[in-house]
Structures are given as C-alpha cells and as structure tokens.
Structure 1
Amino acid sequence: MVKTLYVGNLSWQTTEEDIKGLFGGEGEIQSVRLITDRNTGRSKGFAFVETTEEVAQKLIDSYNGYEFNGRKIVVSEARPKEERRSSSSRSHNRRF
C-alpha cells in the first residue's frame, strides 16, 4: 500500500532530486512533489513523498528531526487535504 509523507522545514534551495537522494537509500521512493509558489516558482519549504508503508515508517524514524541543508526537517505521515471554501461562498455568509 502506498503511504504519503509530509516533509517540512526544507530550505528553499532543496530540490526534488535532493529529497530523492536523501531518502533513496532506505528503499523505493515512488514520487516526490516539492510544493512551490504559483507566482514565483520558489519552494514553499515542504514536500510530499510517496512510498511503501514499510519504507515510510523507516523514513519517519530515521529522518524526523534530521539536519538537512542546514535545517532540521520534519518527516511525518501526511494528513488528508482539508476542503477549502471558495471566496464566493464566503461572501454569501456575511451578516449585514
């Protein structure tokens, strides 16, 4: 089964290849998605990594709090994405 991990507190210079290189020795990494700002293209400092359950637990145990590119990174199981309300729906809920 595929498990998605959250990897946070990354330096802005960190690339998807850097993350693959860091975690690749622990087992197969299926994908890395570094989150970037839509306007600037600059990293937002976090990524999502997909791997197997067994490898995911190894990564959490080995790398949560690990210093990488000058920062202590956070590695944890990703939480499901929360639904965001659109701005148009908020305007309908205003009280006058």
Structure 2
Amino acid sequence: MSIYVGNISNQVEEADLKQVFSEYGSVKRVRVPVNRETGEKRGFAFVEMGTDAEEAAAIEGLLGIEWMGRSLKVNKAITRVDKDSSCRF
C-alpha cells in the first residue's frame, strides 16, 4: 500500500505529509527522497497507508488539490524493477 506523491514543495517535511494523509486513514510510513549529492529534496514522496481502502481514499481525496502552492500528483506507486534481475531467454 504505497502512494506516489509528486509535485511537492521543497519545504514539505515528512510530518506535513503524515498529517495530511492521516485524514484518510493510518499512515505507516512517509519517505521524502533527497538528492545524494546535494541533499536537496527531489520534489516527490512516498506514503504507505494501512489498507488498500485507505490508500484509494487518499488518492481520490488528494489528487490535484493545491497544497503549499503546488497542484499534487497522487497515484499508486509502481514498484521499481531491479535492472539486474531482468529475464534472459
């Protein structure tokens, strides 16, 4: 149950996201990736919710809303496939 949250302000902290998403259910984890070289936030985050229903409610409720001067992009996160584990025939 992971949600991708894009187009977020660089001022957003994990606690801010947890507060907003907790209105839709239990928030298990929030992660705001940073650039390894500069330490700056990358403009997106991942939020893990407790259930699929809570995840769906958060996506529906927050998609496209304006928050901290930005229009949020909110959708189900896609699991990244490891490049080394590709199928070989």
- Give the alignment's TM-score, normalised by structure 2: 0.87
Match of 1:12 in 2: 10
Q: Which has the higher strand share?
A: 1
Task: Name the larger-Rg structure.
Answer: 1
1:37 aligns with 2:20: no
Matched ranges for 1:1-96 at <5 A: 3-51=1-49, 52-84=51-83
Residue identity in the other structure for 2:25: G
RMSD: 1.2
Deviation at 1:49, TM superposition (A): 0.7
Question: For each residue in 1:57-85, what CA deviation from the matched residue of structure 2 results, as whole angstroms up to 9, or x when unmatched?
Answer: 00110001011110001110001103347
Equivalent residue pairs, number: 83
User: 5+ unaligned residues in a row in structure 1: which ranges?
Assistant: 86-96
Deviation at 1:24, TM superposition (A): 1.1
Identity of counterpart residues, as a percentage?
36
Provide the rounded CA distance (Å) in 1 between the counterparts of 2:12 and 2:83.
28
